Amino acid sequence: MQYNETELKAVKEFLYKIADDQLIIGHRNSEWTGLGPLVEEDIAFSSIAQDKIGQAQHIYEILHTLGEADADTIAFTRNAADFKSCHLVEYPIGEYDFSLMRNFLFNHAEKIRFEMLADTSLEQLAKLAKKYRGEIKYHTMHSDTWITQLGRANEESHARMQTALNETFNLALGIFEESEFAGNLKELNIFEGESALQNRWLEAITPLLEKASLVIPERSAWQPVYGGRKGYHTEYLEPMLEEMGEVFRLDPKAEW
Amino acid sequence: MKKSIDPRINRLELPANEDGKEVLDELEQWETYEVFHQKKRGDQHVHVGIVHAASAEMALLLAKEQYARRRQTSNLWVVKTRDVTATSYDDSDIFETTPEKTYREASDYYCMDRIRKYQQEHGIKDRKEDRRKKKESA
């Protein structure tokens, strides 16, 4: 499909947003490798992290076909201000409760976003959406099981998961920061919109959190943390990017 | 102080148990589940190992990554290790067969020569033999 200048901008921004979220949360989750609570979980969580980074790579490759740099250059050489990731994914890993809750809230948004993208007019993306269905389903099964287990295990685990939910919820609402190009994306039949996604996300996570005996913060306390989609980030992103791209920047021309 | 091979556990400086033995309390480790892997639908499930888990659901979740990540898989089973009833190694002599009773093993039946004779008499082709010859000539 041929896009005019504004449309191309809209498509690129949309793809960057999705892929940057995946890359950053993937890298954060990979920081648990070797430190997981038990070896089986260490392997599972690391594997999920790798899946997310792989998904980001494929979306960067779509961007490359639209005239952007190659995937490695996109991932490892941009400044923080060029990233479109939301604040939720940027925060340090914290304790395992924080990382699990963040992953739970993110996975469900991701799952629904890709469900909505299954018949997007952007064909390359529609293909990926179908391809990732199984992977993302496993990611949500993983987080659902852990949330339920720890939400109901004992007083301490319940308190920690509730605290983690309180800490991550407003950040998670930041996933759904609307783009100035939302209208273009809808017109082009690429994406229905962030508020539709947010509504479906709330419908999905509410019964799951209930099952885990956890309570979503009162609506009056909702304060979505926006800014990430426009390039305004937390203090945590820059050092993470420096570390992530350190080896690549030693010799950007190296063959891997 | 409790000692573990994991330095992170040692750093917690957990007190030793009252009897002085340096062991972890029960349930400080999750129990284990035996994992059975099925390659294709219809195949037998084959035992492949164990996982530690807090529930059967979590065991399946972790088994998927440990045992199904790098091989074709259509289905997994998990069973609590403590629900498995096993024979005792002390009784492993029950599996021994006395040499004089080899007639009880399938290998002791010689019938192929009689089958071939029947096939020749009735003009039936031995497909296995054909395949062997084909393979040799190829």
Q: Which residues of B touch A47 (CB under 8 A)?
A: 65, 69
Of A40, A138, A141, the CB nearest to B52: A40
Q: Which residues pair with A151 in a beta bridge?
A: none
Provide, rounded to the nearest whole percent, the portion of chain A with pLDDT above 70: 100
What are the tens digits of pLDDT across the range B43-80?
999 999 999 999 999 999 999 999 999 899 999 999 99
> What's the rounded mean pLDDT across residues B13-27?
61
Does A149 contact B55 at a Cβ distance shorter than 8 Å? yes
Of B30, B51, B58, the CB nearest to A145: B58
First to last CA, chain A: 33
Q: At CB < 8 Å, which residues of chain B contact A?
A: 8, 30, 51-55, 57-58, 61-62, 64-66, 69
Picking from A35, A40, A137 by the largest number of B CB atoms within 10 A of its own CB, the best residue to mutate is A40
How many other β-carbons are positioned within 10 Å of the β-carbon of residue A135? 16
Which spans in B1-55 are helix H?
7-11
Q: Which residues of B touch A145 (CB under 8 A)?
A: 55, 57-58, 61
Per DSSP, chain A holds a count of helices (H) and strands (E) of 11, 0
Of A47, A145, A146, the CB nearest to B65: A47
Does A145 contact B65 at a Cβ distance shorter than 8 Å? no
Q: Which residues of A touch B58 (CB under 8 A)?
A: 145-146, 149
**ipTM score:** 0.84
What are the tens digits of pLDDT across the range A2-22?
899 999 999 999 999 999 999
Shortest Cα distance from A154 to chain B (angstroms)? 13
Shortest Cα distance from A35 to chain B (angstroms)? 9
User: pTM to 2 decimals?
Assistant: 0.83
> What's the rounded mean pLDDT across residues B26-41?
86
**pLDDT value for B128:** 74
How many other β-carbons are positioned within 10 Å of the β-carbon of residue A74? 22
Provide, rounded to the nearest whole percent, the portion of chain B with pLDDT above 90: 44
Question: A56-68 b/e with 16+ CB inside 10 Å = b?
Answer: bbbbbbbbeeeeb
Picking from A42, A103, A145 by the largest number of B CB atoms within 10 A of its own CB, the best residue to mutate is A145
What mean pLDDT is reported for chain A?
A: 96
> Rounded to an integer, what is the distance from CA B97 to the centroid of its chain?
23
What are the tens digits of pLDDT across the range A131-171?
999 999 999 999 999 999 999 999 999 999 999 999 999 99
Better-predicted residue by pLDDT, B21 or A29:
A29
**Minimal-distance CA residue of chain A relative to B50:** A40
Yes or no: say if A175 and A86 are a contact pair by the CB < 8 Å rule: yes
* Torsion A32-A33-A35-A40 (CA) sign: positive
Q: Which residues of A touch B53 (CB under 8 A)?
A: 40
Does B54 contact A43 at a Cβ distance shorter than 8 Å? no
Task: Please check whether residue A139 touches B, CB under 8 A.
Answer: no
DSSP character string of B65-123: HHHSTTS--SEEEEEEGGG-----GGGGGGG---GGGGGGSGGG---HHHHHHHHHHTT
Read off the amino acid at residue A159.
A
